[in-house]
Amino acid sequence: MTAVVEALGATKRYGEVLGLNGFTAQFGPGITGLVGPNGAGKSTFFRLLAGQLRPDAGTVTMLGHPAWGPSAFRRRVGYCPEHSAVFDWMTGEDFVTTLLRVDGYSRAEARERTQRALATVDLVDARHRRLRAYSKGMRQRIKIAQAIAHDPELLLLDEPLNGVDPVGRSRLLTLFGDLARSGHHLIVSSHVLYEIERLTSEIVMITNGRALAQGNVHQIRELISNRPHTIELTTSDPRALARALSEWEHVTAIEFPGPGRLTVLSRTPAEFYQRLPEVVVKSGIDVTGVRGADDNLDAVFRYLSGFG
């Protein structure tokens, strides 16, 4: 994997508090989710990437450049910070145009790019309003607009969906997906796991300033061997199916969570999925649904962090 962003033993202290503690991770092309609870170190990492903080130890590089160093390469990077602070006396249009001008764009090009970015985040109608009159969701969107306006190769989005209404969230998630499909690289942080899950399977999990795991969430789940996988089945005859499955050695438990439903814990889900059709055919039991209930980000995070 070619790393777009790489942290090697990055450590950052705030006095006696450790923001990052030897954080090592690689972020590849496309979308990577940085997930972890509040206070895990996500924003510290983003501030290191944004060049606001200098690592006390270790290195952080983006697009092959040290994050703390000369800033010329930052034209290839867009950053949407977590906090909602903006120059609130400015209009939305003024805000985005000014920051493009700081990046060296001519007045005409800055205006054109601003209109495009505002249209992308649905703020054209509010472009002449002062930012102090923007709602929290609108502020999030104007921050995203300034991050994408210069069409950066790499987008750093720190909790970009905070405060955005459900419709806005859906649109932004679609936008992020579109950006990734058009060749941009995105690092998106969130403590709301299902949001990340909608965007990508590639994740870096962080807690207490350390990387807990990284890679494809499903592959990570496979590696957690001490936790049987939970598989939910929908069937017309749960008891008969339970009888058949209970003979399998790798099935460790079977539960009946509700009418027509069966929950099976299996140590080897691959084998389970492979043998299930055979049982269904032999027994003639009608199975209408099969779903891995903990083959997801939330479960993986809970298991790895010890909260599950």
Which residues contribute to the site for another protein (CB under 8 A)? 14, 17-20, 39-44, 47, 50-54, 70-75, 77, 79, 81, 83, 85-87, 89, 98-99, 101-104, 106, 146, 209
Q: How far is residue 42's CA from residue 25's CA, in Å, rounded to a whole number?
A: 12
In the chain, the DSSP E strands lie at 5-14, 17-27, 31-35, 57-62, 65-66, 77-80, 154-158, 185-190, 202-207, 210-216, 229-235, 251-255, 261-266, 287-292
Residue 44 vs 140, nearer CB to another protein: 44
90-120 CB burial, b ≥16 within 10 A, e <16: bbbbbbbbebbeeeebeeeebbebbbebbeb
Residue 87 vs 256, nearer CB to another protein: 87
Shortest gap between Cβ of 192 and another protein (angstroms)?
A: 18
Q: How far is residue 207's CA from residue 301's CA, in Å, rounded to a whole number?
A: 10
Shortest gap between Cβ of 19 and another protein (angstroms)?
A: 4
Residue 114 vs 266, nearer CB to another protein: 114
- Phi first, then psi: what are they for 143, rounded to 5°? -65, -35
Shortest gap between Cβ of 16 and another protein (angstroms)?
A: 12
Residue 25 vs 264, nearer CB to another protein: 25
Residue 112 vs 222, nearer CB to another protein: 112
Q: How far is residue 204's CA from residue 31's CA, in Å, rounded to a whole number?
A: 11
Nearest Cα neighbor of 53 from 14, 106, 83 is: 14
Q: How far is residue 264's CA from residue 18's CA, in Å, rounded to a whole number?
A: 41
Shortest gap between Cβ of 52 and another protein (angstroms)?
A: 5
Residue 75 vs 261, nearer CB to another protein: 75
Shortest gap between Cβ of 121 and another protein (angstroms)?
A: 16
Beta carbons of 129 and 92 less than 8 angstroms apart: yes
Shortest gap between Cβ of 71 and another protein (angstroms)?
A: 5
Residue 185 vs 229, nearer CB to another protein: 185
For residue 20, what are the contacts with CB-CB under 8 A and spacing of at least 6? 7, 10, 11, 12, 41, 44, 45, 48, 55, 209, 210
Shortest gap between Cβ of 6 and another protein (angstroms)?
A: 18
